[in-house]
Structure 1
Amino acid sequence: MPEPWRTGRFTRIEKINEAVLRFWIEIPELPVFNFKPGQFVTLDLPIGDKPVKRWRSYSIASHPDGTNIIELVIVLLEGGAGTHYLFNEVTIGTEVPVRGPQGVFTLPEQIDKDLFFICTGTGIAPFRSMINYIQLHNLEHKNIYLIFGCRKLCDSLYGEEMKAASQVLSNFYYLPSYSREDKENETIRHGYVHGIYQDILNAQKPNADFYLCGWKNMIDEAKQNILSMGYDKKSIHLELYG
């Protein structure tokens, strides 16, 4: 049975940069909004007559914390009716129907393999939820690689938070890369995400599961690369944006 539609109320909005906002949504009729890290919710926005025109789905960026409030991180899409509404019409107190949680892009019951979380932009949302959940509950795990790509340092979503997590969570490696940052900055990785996981896999060939989240082009390339390195397609899990 699908989850019913419930009223969601925006309680907080934070600007990351000109193109990215964080939104906090409360589900007042529930004392606790239960979900698994990696799942998403669907919003029914007032932007069209037919459901297919109104519904927009977003991964939950927060972890289950015993409250009825969830966080979403959303990028403004040029010409996108949904994000135009969210960025220009929504204010504190705005209410929209919310359905969820939904999705099977979730952690395995036992983390008995290395995990490669590969993402770009707001595709980091489900992985931020997973990392915080693993840390909070002290879950046993193998190596976890969060490989995050964006254009510039200013686009690095949750960067300081993930860097801090890598200092306290054992075997967790935060590996960001920037495709359009100044090449003279030698303190960061330059380029795209693909070279990072390829280097690790070539050096170690670990027993691993791969979680890919972001735009289709990145996911398609990563999937082909991983398959070409001898991994089974059952080890690859996808959450496609757009």
Structure 2
Amino acid sequence: MALLCVRQPPQRLRSSLQHACFARNSICTSSLVPAVGQPARLVFSAHDSIFGQPLWRPQSRSARRCSWAAQAAWGDDIEWKKAKISESTLAATGIQKVILDIGSGADSHTKPGQFVQVKVDGGKPGFYAIASPPDSNNQGVIELLVKNQGETAEALCSKSSGAEVEASPVMGKGFQVDKAPADKFPTVVIFATGTGISPIRSLIEADTLDVKHRKDVRLYYGTFSDDKTAYLDQVPSWEAQGISVKHVYSDNGQGYVQDAFEKDGLTDGSQACAVLVGQKEMCMAVTDLLVSKGVDKDKILLNF
């Protein structure tokens, strides 16, 4: 681990640090991000990254005190382009489905699990996983699920069809499914909570998992209730592809996705891989459970 001290950070660096905290889901806490003009103290690993991008890099290994430079690939270095909202409709209670035309910015959408950043009226950027599969015809249109909570999300959800926003190119490494080929890993367990279903929908619709050549593919989908569950109407088509979808509703005492998985069990963890998207606590609990059942940690796939 390393300690980063930033003296008198400018507003743009402070903003980047805040977005780093949000995207990593508590790589640091908000209390560690200071007001402008105050020192910042962050504890992190030199290998930490956000969506596949390194947070920091050493400028000189030989220096007595290691000097670190921020990798603001998600901030000031982005080439922002105008994007148009083609459609904005309610996907579930408190969740908006936004169809966004980002034009040539979609060129780099090659894998499920990638994301874009969106700014509304010059405000702070928000990070949104892409829910639509990569488009081989490159029409430049992507689908997002936006939880109507927080400054940027609320501003985005308030916009109607035809409104313009700013969007980054498609970013991130996506799910590295090639690590777990179907002939060696016949079992895939997928975990998603809330709007974490976005990149999972992309993964399913793109058929990147090659479901028909696997024996056991399960999706544990955790939400509060069915009215707060996006893509509920698409579940039958996913099941028709051979995916066993297990809904876990926390409002009726079903617990969490890890609880449902533990009840079902796993026959042979050495021949299983997993895909995780959701809250940090869920991902940590599921990871521990998978590893205890013999799943190789390298075969637990995240999209960042």
TM range (shorter): 0.7 to 0.9
What's the counterpart of residue 235 of structure 2? 162
Residues 133 and 206, structure 2, Cα contact 8 Å, conserved in 1: yes
d(CA) in 2 for partners of 1:123 and 1:23? 15
Q: CA deviation at 1:55?
A: 1.7
d(CA) in 2 for partners of 1:102 and 1:31? 10
From 163, 188, 201, the equivalent of 2:265 is 201
Q: What letter corresponds to residue 20 of structure 1 in structure 2?
A: I
% of aligned pairs identical?
25
What's the counterpart of residue 71 of structure 1? 143
Confirm or deny that 1:144 pairs with 2:217.
Answer: yes
Residues 27 and 33, structure 1, Cα contact 8 Å, conserved in 2: no
Confirm or deny that 1:83 pairs with 2:153.
Answer: yes
Q: CA deviation at 1:208?
A: 1.5
Q: 1:238 to 1:19 in 2, by over 3 A?
A: same
Q: CA deviation at 1:239?
A: 4.4
Q: CA deviation at 1:232?
A: 2.8
d(CA) in 1 for partners of 2:209 and 2:141? 17
Q: What letter corresponds to residue 238 of structure 1 in structure 2?
A: L
Confirm or deny that 1:216 pairs with 2:280.
Answer: yes
Confirm or deny that 1:41 pairs with 2:116.
Answer: yes
Post-superposition CA distance 1:52-100 (Å, at most 9, x none): xx121111111123221110011122xx111121123x22222222123
d(CA) in 2 for partners of 1:147 and 1:138? 16
Comparing 207-216 with 156-165, greater Cα deviation is found at 156-165
Q: CA deviation at 1:140?
A: 4.1
d(CA) in 1 for partners of 2:206 and 2:250? 29
SS of 2:234's partner is: helix
What's the counterpart of residue 10 of structure 1? 85
What's the counterpart of residue 164 of structure 2? 95
Q: 1:96 to 1:133 in 2, by over 3 A?
A: same
d(CA) in 1 for partners of 2:105 and 2:157? 26
TM-score with structure 1 setting the length: 0.80
SS of 2:188's partner is: strand
SS of 2:133's partner is: coil
d(CA) in 2 for partners of 1:13 and 1:201? 39
Residues 105 and 237, structure 1, Cα contact 8 Å, conserved in 2: no
d(CA) in 2 for partners of 1:58 and 1:124? 12
Comparing 133-142 with 194-203, greater Cα deviation is found at 133-142
d(CA) in 1 for partners of 2:267 and 2:284? 23
Q: 1:93 to 1:226 in 2, by over 3 A?
A: same
TM-score with structure 2 setting the length: 0.65
Q: 1:32 to 1:228 in 2, by over 3 A?
A: closer
Q: 1:31 to 1:64 in 2, by over 3 A?
A: closer
SS of 2:103's partner is: coil
d(CA) in 2 for partners of 1:136 and 1:195? 24
What's the counterpart of residue 188 of structure 2? 115
Q: 1:178 to 1:28 in 2, by over 3 A?
A: same
Post-superposition CA distance 1:149-197 (Å, at most 9, x none): 0111112221221222212x13x2111111113x7xxxxxx33111222
d(CA) in 2 for partners of 1:98 and 1:220? 31
Q: 1:33 to 1:5 in 2, by over 3 A?
A: same
Instruction: For structure 1, list consecutive stretches of 5 or more residues without a partner in the other structure.
Output: 49-53, 184-189
Confirm or deny that 1:59 pairs with 2:129.
Answer: yes
Q: Considering Cα pairs closer than 8 Å and 6+ residues apart, tell me whether 1 or 2 has the greater RCO.
A: 1
Residues 177 and 209, structure 2, Cα contact 8 Å, conserved in 1: no
d(CA) in 1 for partners of 2:108 and 2:294? 40
Q: What letter corresponds to residue 145 of structure 2 in structure 1?
A: V
Q: 1:46 to 1:228 in 2, by over 3 A?
A: farther
Size of the aligned set, in residue pairs, is: 223
What's the counterpart of residue 251 of structure 2? 180
Comparing 195-204 with 16-25, greater Cα deviation is found at 195-204
Give me the CA root mean square deviation.
2.8
Q: 1:202 to 1:135 in 2, by over 3 A?
A: closer
